[in-house]
Amino acid sequence: MDNGDKSWMNHLRWTEEYAAGVNYFLDKAFERASQGNEILCPCKKCMNRYWHYRNVVEGHLVVHGFVDNYTKWVFHGEPVSSRNTLHPINDDEGSNLRDDIDGLLHDTFRNVEGESVHEEGVRQGLSEDAKKFFKLLEEGKQELYPGCENFNKLNFTIRLYLFKSLHGLSNVSFSDLLDLIREAFPFAQIPESFNKARQVIKDLGLHYEKIHACPNDCMLFWKDNEKVDNCSVCGTSRWKSVGDASTNSRSKIPAKVLRYFPLKPRLQRIFMCSEIAVAMRWHANERPNDGNLRHPADGEAWKDFDRLYPDFSRDPRNVRLGLSSDGFNPFRTMSISHSSWPVMLMNYNLSPWICMKPEYIMLSMIIPGPSSPGNDIDVYLQPLIAELKELWEPGRETYDAETDQTFRMRAALLWTVSDFPALAMLSGWSTKGKLACPTCNYDTCSQYLEHSRKMCYLGHRRVLPSDHKLRKDKKSFDGKEEHRPAPTPLSGIEVLEELHEFNNVFGKGKKKRPRDNKGPWKKRSIFFELPYWAHNKLRHNLDVMHIEKNICDSLLGTLLEIDGKSKDHVNSRNDLQEMGIRKELQPIEDNDGNVSLAQSCFSMKPE
């Protein structure tokens, strides 16, 4: 088969040519773009959104066929060229994260379509936003056309908007499609244009704001700087020029765009559904209080926050949030180097069996690539921090569908959840070098291993109880007994006092820190602008997934002596000799200069 020939995709699905082509596609996809034993399924049903095993993908492609026009396999390892891209550069709504956003939007739209609201609430003294929301839902219940059972005006508009996003239609193409449908079905209630359909989405509170950013991550062109054309830090233009070969003209487009999803209307919308409004009180009204740790509300950090701010904790409807962020490649293939950073918010008022479901996790913003924002992530977090400050004091007047009354909703960010590198970005503490541990901070016990060429962090016995037997076990560790107390973590107040005069410098062009910025701190985190952040007992968490996976990989690789995965190698044995410990594991050199390694007690080799 010719590697570039994809004509078999147009053959009937029961032919030998099509079957051979599918196998060729699967071989290439698993070679280039698999994650574990799964790849994205490109069938018409899954549409490159769901991961499946090979036999499942093969079955889908035979039964359903490939998604239309998927001849450039960009999600399965083929490079993306500027002439053949799924995301046109002139499409306002297009982005490299399109398919990931679609999944979130689909769950949100599904909830909106099925929301149950108190119709009496429309007649009460509600805010203008709530009135508009209820009015939209009431109007949306109208039949698409007389006798239509499958669609009403609202869900058809939402489906149309999803169709545009899924298939990458431009604004003009979408408007032309609406004209064609309206001409064919003049009696149906079809939106007049793309802008009308988008306005419906905006009125539902599902829109996002576009905020231009400096290409070097120095600043946002936002608020007072909204109309500025050049970065005030590095002087770079906010625009880039793009030429149109067909018209021989050039136009200016923003060089970098932050997509921000406003938080306040989304939190208000939660309480417009009576069932979810009840669920928002679960942590106070339904949570078992038997001393077991099942939910963040059972932890010390939550209880300490309640003691410090009794006015906030008095109303269980006030929202407790957690923030998480990590980089990912929107093309889902390692052949393209790209890192976009979504920032997610978790709603901890809800019960543990629903608070981590996709439809209840809020996408706060999408920080664009192609590279990680790194230490400059604070620049992009400014809109979110501004909203969180408003939600703390004075709060937001919100309609509660469960009580059919309004109340002043407040919200607080309790902590962040991330992997170790992202913890450095969010907290400002450097997670590299001699003082990499943010818990041990300045009391971190570390040593550089000359042969392995990496830092080693020792002294873990310090966190054991003072009478633990391992504290006196010299042979298994470094030949010494351990009598030091556990290190004391820095409180938020201590961190804030230490960084009181710290000079934050953001931007890729400003890598050198001023001389007065010393130690392991890279910045004073923007989270300290929140009035309560310095008093939070637990400000940053490491996610369990990365820790479990990395430690499990290292343990299994070492126990089974897997090449390239084992941590027990010649360099590590030489480091033991350098440190003067574990003589039974140190390398042995014979008279001819050959080095041999004694078998370790943890080896699981058959011999």
For residue range 202-234, what is the model confidence (pLDDT) as tens digits? 777 678 899 999 999 999 999 999 999 999 999
Residue 379 has pLDDT above 50, yes or no: yes
Same domain assignment for residues 201 and 299: no
Which pLDDT score, from 0 to 100, does residue 192 have?
A: 81
Q: Which of 46, 76, 106 is where one domain is finished?
A: 76
Query: Is residue 154 situated within a structural domain?
Result: yes
Say how many domains are in the chain: 4
**In 72-116, alpha helices (H):** 98-113
Residue 504 has pLDDT above 80, yes or no: yes
Which pLDDT score, from 0 to 100, does residue 172 have?
A: 85
| Average pLDDT score, the chain | 83
Q: Which of 191, 219, 254 is where one domain is finished?
A: 254
Same domain assignment for residues 104 and 243: yes
Alpha-carbon distances, residue 595 vs 294, 571, 588 (angstroms): 53, 12, 6
Q: What is the length of the chain?
A: 607
Residue 281 has pLDDT above 50, yes or no: yes
Using one digit for the tens of pLDDT, what is the confidence trace for 9-45?
A: 888 888 888 999 999 999 888 888 887 788 888 988 8
Torsional sign, CA 142, 162, 240, 238: positive
Which pLDDT score, from 0 to 100, does residue 469 have?
A: 92
Same domain assignment for residues 290 and 242: no
The torsion defined by the Cα of 311, 313, 315 and 319, in degrees rounded to 10, comes to 120
The pLDDT of 409-415, averaged and rounded, is 96
Confidence of residue 97 (pLDDT cuts 50, 70, 90): very low
Query: Is residue 317 situated within a structural domain?
Result: yes
Which pLDDT score, from 0 to 100, does residue 583 have?
A: 85
CA nearest neighbour of 107 among 158, 164, 38: 158
Query: Is residue 527 situated within a structural domain?
Result: no
The pLDDT of 494-514, averaged and rounded, is 80
| Pairing of the two strands 595-596 and 588-589 | antiparallel
Which pLDDT score, from 0 to 100, does residue 103 have?
A: 40
Query: Is residue 212 situated within a structural domain?
Result: yes
Q: Determine what percent of the chain is predicted with pLDDT higher than 70.
A: 85
- Dmax (CA) for the chain in angstroms is 96
Same domain assignment for residues 287 and 407: yes
Residue 80 has pLDDT above 50, yes or no: no
Question: What is the DSSP-derived secondary structure letter of residue 435?
Answer: T
Of 7 and 145, the structure prediction assigns the larger pLDDT to: 7
Query: Is residue 115 situated within a structural domain?
Result: yes
Same domain assignment for residues 145 and 14: no
Residue 279 has pLDDT above 90, yes or no: yes
Same domain assignment for residues 103 and 240: yes
Residue 82 has pLDDT above 60, yes or no: no
Supply angle C-alpha 509, 514, 518, rounded to 5. Answer: 125
Same domain assignment for residues 143 and 231: yes
CA nearest neighbour of 371 among 255, 213, 215: 215
Which pLDDT score, from 0 to 100, does residue 77 have?
A: 76
Confidence of residue 476 (pLDDT cuts 50, 70, 90): confident
Same domain assignment for residues 133 and 232: yes
Other C-beta atoms closer than 10 Å to the C-beta of 317 total 19
**Type of residue numbered 222:** W
Looking up tokens 């949030």, which residue turns up? 321
Helix (H) / strand (E) containing 159: helix 153-167
**In 185-215, alpha helices (H):** 194-203
Confidence of residue 594 (pLDDT cuts 50, 70, 90): confident
Query: Is residue 127 situated within a structural domain?
Result: yes
Looking up tokens 């971190």, which residue turns up? 444
Residue 380 has pLDDT above 90, yes or no: yes
Q: Is 477 helix (H, G, I), strand (E, B) or coil?
A: coil
Which pLDDT score, from 0 to 100, does residue 98 have?
A: 40
Provide the token pair at 332.
């889902």
Which pLDDT score, from 0 to 100, does residue 534 have?
A: 95
Same domain assignment for residues 70 and 102: no
Q: Domain limits at 196?
A: 98-254
CA atoms within 13 A on the CB side of 306: 15
Which pLDDT score, from 0 to 100, does residue 175 have?
A: 84
Which pLDDT score, from 0 to 100, does residue 338 have?
A: 85
Q: Which of 382, 401, 419 is where one domain is finished?
A: 419
| Cα-trace Rg, the chain | 29
Residues sharing a CB contact under 8 Å with residue 580, sequence separation 6 or more, in sequence order: 479
Residue 487 has pLDDT above 70, yes or no: yes
Same domain assignment for residues 104 and 238: yes
Give the lowest-confidence range in 60-64, 344-348, 518-522: 518-522
Question: Are 573 and 586 contacting, i.e. CB atoms less than 8 angstroms apart?
Answer: yes
Confidence of residue 485 (pLDDT cuts 50, 70, 90): very high
Strand partners, 340: 328
Using one digit for the tens of pLDDT, what is the confidence trace for 545-583?
A: 878 888 888 888 888 888 888 888 889 989 888 888 888
Provide the token pair at 318.
């006030």
Query: Is residue 188 situated within a structural domain?
Result: yes
Q: How far apart are CA 361 and CA 135, in angstroms?
A: 26
Which pLDDT score, from 0 to 100, does residue 128 have?
A: 66
Q: How far apart are CA 607 and CA 588, in angstroms?
A: 20
Which pLDDT score, from 0 to 100, does residue 309 have?
A: 96
Of 527 and 105, the structure prediction assigns the larger pLDDT to: 527
Read off the pTM.
Answer: 0.74
Which pLDDT score, from 0 to 100, does residue 121 have?
A: 42
CA nearest neighbour of 265 among 310, 209, 186: 209
Same domain assignment for residues 103 and 243: yes
Q: How far apart are CA 393 and CA 411, in angstroms?
A: 9
Question: Are 75 and 65 contacting, i.e. CB atoms less than 8 angstroms apart?
Answer: no
Of 419 and 188, the structure prediction assigns the larger pLDDT to: 419
Confidence of residue 90 (pLDDT cuts 50, 70, 90): very low
Query: Does the N-terminal peptide bond of residue 370 adopt cis geometry, omega within 30 degrees of 0?
Result: yes
Confidence of residue 188 (pLDDT cuts 50, 70, 90): confident
Query: Is residue 469 situated within a structural domain?
Result: no
Same domain assignment for residues 160 and 36: no
